[in-house]
Amino acid sequence: MKRLQRGLSGRTAVVTGGAQGIGAAVVERLCLEGCHVVVFDKSADHGRALREAWRDNGYTVHLSVGDVTDPAAVQAAVADTPPDWPRPTLLVNLAAGFVFKGIEATPADWQAALEPTIVGLSLVTREFVAGLPERNADAAIVNMASISAHIAQEGYLTYNTSKAAVLGFTRCMAQELAPRGVRVNSVSPGTVWNANNERYHREALGLDRAAAEAAPEHGGKFLLNRFADPAEVAAPIVFLLSSEASFITGTDLRVDGGYLAV
């Protein structure tokens, strides 16, 4: 049987927010696909710990520590690609601001929500695209949206607005970059059982994963009656980067266990 060729082996990817949760799962999946990966994350501790684990597994990973809202740090992260690697042609924008406020949100709250999610997204994308050829770049970008981008949720005004902006950014950028051979898509995950969500459910609600997934107001909101694992979001992201998705651009892929279907 002929094996599918994803067109990822030997290529270089940049992953923002790649030191934790979904980001770390994306990095691992890209490495398994044969990619070189630049991890751009503001958490030096998480990044260095994971870098050593990845290297122990034989993965080709380079860590760049910095903030996506800092233009100098963004420029350095993309320019810091090891000289013996191919130039980056794959980008995954995961860094975001997690601010959950309603109408009481202050200007500082809005800045904390929007600057990493939208300003940082635009800075990283601009720097990444600057290193691509003007035509036939054969490049792909995936941005992180959320089911919250599609619905209204009480007390989530800042977060939902920032993620809805990611959808608009993705569509506009897909149109702008298509003539250069760059595809741009987004994914909208449902609740993912990562370290932050585990901490919230245990400390704030007193629920372990099984209890949280069994609760109608938590896991019961999803048709599959459970939360996602980070790897279940990483796989669709890597698919959108690959040549198997070569005719997909300007699209949002809902990885939500059926949440938005009802």
- Catalytic positions are 159
**Residue 78, amino acid:** V
Structure tokens at 230: 């980070």
Q: How far apart are CA 257 and CA 249, in angstroms?
A: 22
As to burial, measured by CB atoms within 10 angstroms (0-12 exposed, 13-18 middle, 19+ buried), residue 250 is: middle
**Residue 229, amino acid:** D
**Residue 201, amino acid:** H
Residue with tokens 């904390």, as numbered in its chain: 112
The DSSP secondary-structure symbol of 222 reads S
- Residue (of 37, 33, 31, 32) closest to 12 by Cα position: 37
Cα four-point dihedral sign 32, 33, 38, 41: negative
Radius of gyration of the chain (CA): 18
Structure tokens at 237: 């992201």
User: How many other C-beta atoms lie within 10 A of the C-beta of residue 206?
Assistant: 9
